[in-house]
Structure 1
């Protein structure tokens, strides 16, 4: 399934996209037991999933795509976790050694915007605004100290994130990575959470980013150093994962700071598209 959150008029609900970019089944309207926000839906576990499948199979409560606006598929996760330097090709272009263990940092829910919302250039805070396309794990159930052999049982599905980054803040004052990553609108997310049954192998997906129509990142998730199972096992040693938590898994080569001989950064008016095959695309304008 392709789970989405969407607006129709002044109402926000959970739905199932019939195909990528297509019409949406309004499962919250069809079955009042189904929550109207994604985090609550995920907390509902198997019963919520089965209820959604029944509504979809009934073929009713379809909302035409032109009559709705997609929100981020989850807007209120308890945790937004991010992994740095997790693509082999990105490490090579940065001329840094392959990490021996995952490097985690975080964003906040206040960074999240929808798949077509604007990215707000943060005033005079930065002059080095950069792009990063990322495959994103969505956690489906609570777990701590999760074994690698069982890690996929905790994954509800995957979505796409744009890890917007203020590079100058990441380099200054003893490396202010968090501040450079967590500003408002710095995490466009979506368009849908795609469940595991629709993705044959999450670690063999083409992943790309375009700026104003020009491809700037083009890779495959087979370049991931630490894959889903390893990331979940590592981070769950330290914190309890909860339904709705998201993990941005890192970005491939081609970020603006890596351009040679001169880095290239985003400016107001630029349109950024981040895309992962079988999941979809976020298209956001910098304003």
Structure 2
């Protein structure tokens, strides 16, 4: 299945994408949230679909929201592509680098990205994210995929001056409003033949900056589930974003390139669709 959420910001409804058509499943699903995943919502929804339940169609011009509702946490993995380590001058990690994005950074895949007040170094990062399907604590790597509900496209926007130059933790440059557009879909595992071999790309104003493949991940998803669950309980609906490949603005030579108002950022991952954000300046 490919899950979507649609409607005005703050009042999204759950839906599914079948081929190119969108359907409203709010008659049997409240939302794609912790309760949905915790209570076998995916299995119940699939059973309803297999039983031929009829759902109303949703128009193509209706806004898409984040593919899942606001979770308990958004966890990100830093420097998880070898070539990205090289472009930033960082050593290849021997263990995953973990940071958090605020849950208020979550937004729809095609919503505007708001350049934060005072920002001069807002950057882009195309990433493969996965969503936790059931409560996970001290999970064995061999069992890890049993805890994954599905996969989604995420743009891990980052304000580099806030992140790097202001001291403290990376979170201050990662959690700004609109800095985590997720979707358009959450694709269940059966929709993706090989999550370790998905093409991924990102362009700004039509110029491609990132062009890579999930095969280049340093730490794969099963290990990440295992590793993270040693330090915290992962709850159903939690989002884990797995890192970005080379081509971020910070790494452009001879001078970095950063997002400015009016820019159009487009990105995609094979099998997970594409998204587009227009950059706008902060205003009250």
Query: What's the TM-score bracket when you normalise by the shorter of the two chains?
Result: over 0.9
CA distance change for structure 1 residues 175 and 10 in 2, over 3 Å: closer, same or farther?
closer
CA distance change for structure 1 residues 67 and 186 in 2, over 3 Å: closer, same or farther?
closer
Match of 2:106 in 1: 112
Is the contact between residue 143 and residue 240 of structure 1 (CA under 8 Å) also seen in structure 2?
Answer: yes
TM-score using structure 2 length: 0.93
Residues 9-38 of structure 1: per-residue CA shift (max 9 Å, x gap) = 99532111002xx22222222x3xx22344
* TM superposition shift of 1:101: 0.3
Is the contact between residue 33 and residue 71 of structure 2 (CA under 8 Å) also seen in structure 1?
Answer: no
* TM superposition shift of 1:96: 2.2
Residue 44 of structure 2 aligns to a residue whose secondary structure is: helix
Where in structure 1 are there 5+ consecutive unaligned residues? none
**Following the alignment from structure 1 to structure 2, what is the Cα–Cα distance between the partners of residues 189 and 174?**
28
Aligned residue among 193, 196, 201 for 1:203: 196
* TM superposition shift of 1:175: 4.3
Match of 1:286 in 2: 279
Aligned residue among 251, 268, 281 for 1:258: 251
Aligned residue among 29, 34, 59 for 1:39: 34
Is the contact between residue 88 and residue 250 of structure 2 (CA under 8 Å) also seen in structure 1?
Answer: no
Match of 1:101 in 2: 95
Runs (4+) of structure 1 exceeding 4 A deviation are: 8-11
* TM superposition shift of 1:84: 0.3
Residue 117 of structure 1 aligns to a residue whose secondary structure is: coil
Match of 1:161 in 2: 154
Match of 2:16 in 1: 16
Residues 52-98 of structure 1: per-residue CA shift (max 9 Å, x gap) = 22433426223143253211012310010000000011112223221
Which deviates more from structure 2 when the two are superposed, residues 164-173 or residues 148-157?
164-173
Number of residues paired by the alignment? 279
* TM superposition shift of 1:164: 0.5
Where in structure 2 are there 5+ consecutive unaligned residues? none
Give me the CA root mean square deviation: 1.7
Is the contact between residue 140 and residue 156 of structure 1 (CA under 8 Å) also seen in structure 2?
Answer: yes
